[in-house]
Structure 1
Amino acid sequence: MIVAGFGFRHGASLASLESALERATGGMIAVDALATLDGKTQQLAPLARKLALPLIAVGVGRLADQPVATRSPASMAAYGAGSVAEATALAALTQKGRLLAPRAFSSDRFASCALAESPAP
């Protein structure tokens, strides 16, 4: 299972979210679900509907324990994790998984997306 985790600013548009996903996947990786913080699911829901993918809400308390690859001082201060996108992707997996790559930013830098994969069953 591959989960695309998202971090984004309040004003991020659907185009911003699509751009972040496109940059994270390179247009070559299919994802099985989208994930973000539980307080931000309404903003990501249009993309989940458009792609017909499940949307996983992740509680902020689950972020700090995730082994992220990047460190944003703003993200650390606000959420206790170096990258919301990376941490939500990992936390949304039902089994312990791994990041496929560090977060990628949308062209307008309003959104970031990271992919995490759980081991094959």
Structure 2
Amino acid sequence: MIVAGVGLRHSVKADEIVALVEQALEHASLARDDLTKLATVEALSILPAFTEAARRLDVPVTPVAQDALSASAPHVRTKSARSIAAHGVGSVAEAAALAAAGPHPRLILERITSASATCALARPETGP
């Protein structure tokens, strides 16, 4: 199970999100079929560009509640001042990916960026 966490501006287009997620998967040497969820903070998960990107990627929209995002904050590697000011976490993409990956998540790709979005990948830890 691979979760793509996405941070986005309200002006982002679905094409940009899809391209960024595909780029993230490529960086992590993963296939598009490995992707199982597209996650972001609850307030952004209803934006048309985000829901359209999930539809195009053929994965469910996974809204992440603010408390779950905050709980993942100590485990993010990127520290963006803008993200901290807006959402209380260093990276919405990393925190959303970690929160949506389930128990014992592991970040497999730190946040990458495009003009209006960020993306990070996580999965549940397997094995000891």
What are the equivalent positions in structure 2 for 1:12-91 lying under 5 Å apart?
12-26=12-26, 28-29=29-30, 30-43=34-47, 44-66=50-72, 67-91=75-99
Distance in 2, Cα, partners of 1:54 & 1:119 = 21
Give the TM-score taking structure 1 as reference length. Answer: 0.90
Task: Verify the 8 A CA contact 2:83 2:90 in the aligned structure 1.
Answer: yes
Q: Which runs of 5+ in 2 are unaligned?
A: none
1:118 corresponds in structure 2 to 124
Deviations 1:37-75 (A, max 9, x none): 111112211111112211110012222221001000011
Report the Cα distance in structure 1 between the residues aligned to 2:53 and 2:39, rounded to whole angstroms.
Answer: 11
Cα separation, 1, equivalents of 2:62 and 2:80: 23
Q: Secondary structure at the match of 2:63?
A: strand
Higher helix share: 2
Are 1:3 and 2:3 an aligned pair? yes
- Segments of structure 1 that go 5 or more residues without pairing to the other structure are none
Structure 1 residue 101 displacement after superposition: 1.7
Q: After the TM superposition, which parts of structure 1 deviate over 3 Å for at least 4 consecutive aligned residues?
A: none
Contact 1:35 1:58 in 2 (8 A): yes
Report deviation, 1:25: 1.1
Instruction: Count matched residues.
Output: 119
Residue among 92, 99, 102 paired with 2:110: 102
